[in-house]
Structure 1
């Protein structure tokens, strides 16, 4: 399978949207986040199970031009198109899905239903956009959806399964719970010869001289072997278990921090040393790093640092690097999965401080043609500016500029990991 579509959709369901949904629905952010975590693979599974359904394919192809991604909170949850799609996909399982997610996440059924509409809108909108950007016809979309069947069950969070959602039979299984042995015990086959004239009867195995007597010592031996095998496996697990240690971001070198801010290199699970936490934005919680971009920007604006700046010269040397906004290699229009959340956070900050104005900068490393580097970095900066304009925040963006490798410090012959420090997107306040 070439693509996990859930990675496409997660960018639309970032911290800002979770916070807004919690406020609008009167639920906790943790409950909203938990519900979305259960609904997203269920919705993708539903669409995958209907990968040849003309109604599903029509909804996806029409989503790219419907603007549904721009109004997930209102338009998606109340859209008759989404309602009809859900009825077509889930049928009589729809109410059960809503109730199960509500119980699992600790939210009301009404909130669960609204979130289901929102998640479905984000799903068809994201897949529709991907299909349009990559020139996929309905056959291509059908194949893409069909590819998701093998991964849906593995993406459900702890506490949920296809069985608990009453969806197990969709993927060739059953809705019954499957018992899985905790140890892969070796199979032992015992062959006993039986005379042609004798019939085997379990009730006659009490005869000490008969074949049944072998089980008096063989069964305990097998149990002992199984117990020994289990203990051995547990010891092996302890030897191979590694402990992940969180790294204090304040102690990281600036070069390491810049590598983690790379716009062309996707972050891997082994490099994720920071943990998201709530950043206070005038009473609204944003998910971000302590000491990260959002935290520093909000602290500066709350301190009246922007208000007291006399002119642009006082602000031009302080840039804030994005922690998460990464473009795909060589692209100025396709973001890496997980980038949307920090753009949503930036929009939320600008809305909370409407007097603040910013400039956007794009940077590359020293490799490649400098003319191309400037063009690419400029296009990326303008992409973010245009996105903010669509959020009705364009008036707060005073400029977007690409600097290519003008400020790059790492030699072009260095490793890609070292050069990643020079590839980034940044913003600064402006007057």
Structure 2
């Protein structure tokens, strides 16, 4: 099965970034989410249609060193890589795309334009990072993008199609989601609409009066075959689930021992975590904020010894770094601020930071990178209650270094534990 690169990008456009964008642009979060849901497939489709364009490939390979992913919200507008790519994939259709998405999402055109730049930046950065992680050259990136042609148009939200976005020829033909037609020379045109109903257009010029007798038995067979084909295609489609105001992410489930951590896929839903001082935090249900506050309020924490606390780690679930660096991404700030608020509400609590890498790469380099990242988180929290920060490198990694990037993600994490 081909990789769906939209799955690589969605993690960069999570609820925290949506919330920040809504505040900065003066729009509703639902409007921002709706706009992104229309822009993302369009951008990926445009890249797929320009998979061999040298300027597009140069932008993708250059994205990893440009810091795009670290400042999506404020660093996308005016970025030369993004401007070049948008011009290459949409040309003079950018204005129409922005207008349509703005109307669809109920936001201003200027906001839709900012989101187009942000989504394009997230796409370039994510594909570029994947290419680096998997040692893909220009031809590998082209093949990856071309594999998306068959899926992106089907991911547009209800109410949008490539045609309505002014991108009907994005794949060099009509929108796959629009009406499909089966046509042959001087033969009746059989049209199949979205609902599976068929219509035969027999309005043709045919001087052979006797030829019509063939269609008396051929047309029913043709229609039956088309109906069977349509039903088969519908049954063959993978089941999809649509959720409102939730993100489906791969997250690391907390465990008693950090070396025994497993991964799971779950739907992320927002919740409010209330602190003893009355502060209300917007966080993920079951996320690190939820877990930590519950733990601090429990007898388990009150009665735990230092030795017992050593095995009780809590993994950040929305804290990330730019690829290969110690620079925290913009969306990480929300969870860091939440943890600051928690520490302020529990002044006697003290924590230690731990950072981990996967097995890929040099052991010593991984050890240093993890230590630098642990220090970066400690410095970002800037609290006397953070007593230590340690990088463990790949010491506790369990996934083989030759596994896929998605599989190795389970070993790349940052966590905290409480100390007495």
Q: Common fold, TM-score beyond 0.5?
A: yes
The answer to whether the aligner puts 1:400 opposite 2:390 as a matched pair is yes
Which residue of 2 is the match for residue 358 of structure 1?
351
Which residue of 2 is the match for residue 88 of structure 1?
88
Preserved CA contact (<8 Å) 1:19 1:285: no
Preserved CA contact (<8 Å) 2:76 2:118: yes
| Distance change in 2, residues 1:358/1:316 (3 Å) | same
Which residue of 1 is the match for residue 290 of structure 2?
295
1-structure distance, mates of 2:260, 2:99: 41
The answer to whether the aligner puts 1:276 opposite 2:264 as a matched pair is no
Cα-to-partner distance string for 1:284-340 (whole Å, 9 max, x where unaligned): 633x11x44322435778x8x9xxx9x99599379464485799xxxxx99xxxxx9
In the TM superposition, 1:213-228 aligns within 5 A as: none
**Residue 400 of structure 1: how far off its partner (Å):** 3.4
| Distance change in 2, residues 1:400/1:53 (3 Å) | same
* Structure 1 unaligned residues grouped into runs of 5+: 188-197, 206-210, 245-255, 328-332, 335-339, 364-371, 407-422
Which residue of 2 is the match for residue 100 of structure 1?
100
What SS class does the counterpart of residue 74 from structure 1 fall into? helix
TM-score calculated relative to the size of structure 1:
0.61
Preserved CA contact (<8 Å) 1:63 1:128: yes
Cα-to-partner distance string for 1:177-225 (whole Å, 9 max, x where unaligned): 416543478x9xxxxxxxxxx9749xxx9xxxxx9xxx9xx9xxx9xxx
**Residue 36 of structure 1: how far off its partner (Å):** 1.5
More RCO (CA 8 Å, sep 6+): 1
Which residue of 2 is the match for residue 57 of structure 1?
57
The answer to whether the aligner puts 1:127 opposite 2:127 as a matched pair is yes
| Distance change in 2, residues 1:108/1:342 (3 Å) | closer
1:389 to 367, 376, 381: 376
| Distance change in 2, residues 1:318/1:6 (3 Å) | same
1-structure distance, mates of 2:292, 2:367: 21
**Residue 91 of structure 1: how far off its partner (Å):** 0.8
Which residue of 1 is the match for residue 11 of structure 2?
11
Computed over aligned residues only, the root mean square deviation of the Cα atoms, in angstroms, reads 5.4
2-structure distance, mates of 1:52, 1:167: 19
Cα-to-partner distance string for 1:345-381 (whole Å, 9 max, x where unaligned): 5334235567586324589xxxxxxxx9xx99xx699
In the TM superposition, 1:245-324 aligns within 5 A as: 266-268=263-265, 272=266, 276-279=269-272, 285-286=282-283, 288-289=284-285, 291-297=286-292, 313=306, 316=309, 319=312, 321-322=314-315
Which residue of 2 is the match for residue 346 of structure 1?
335
More helix by share: 1
| Greater Rg by CA | 1
1-structure distance, mates of 2:262, 2:351: 25
**Residue 101 of structure 1: how far off its partner (Å):** 1.4
Which residue of 2 is the match for residue 410 of structure 1?
none
TM-score calculated relative to the size of structure 2:
0.62
| Distance change in 2, residues 1:35/1:430 (3 Å) | farther
Which residue of 1 is the match for residue 67 of structure 2?
67
Preserved CA contact (<8 Å) 2:69 2:121: yes
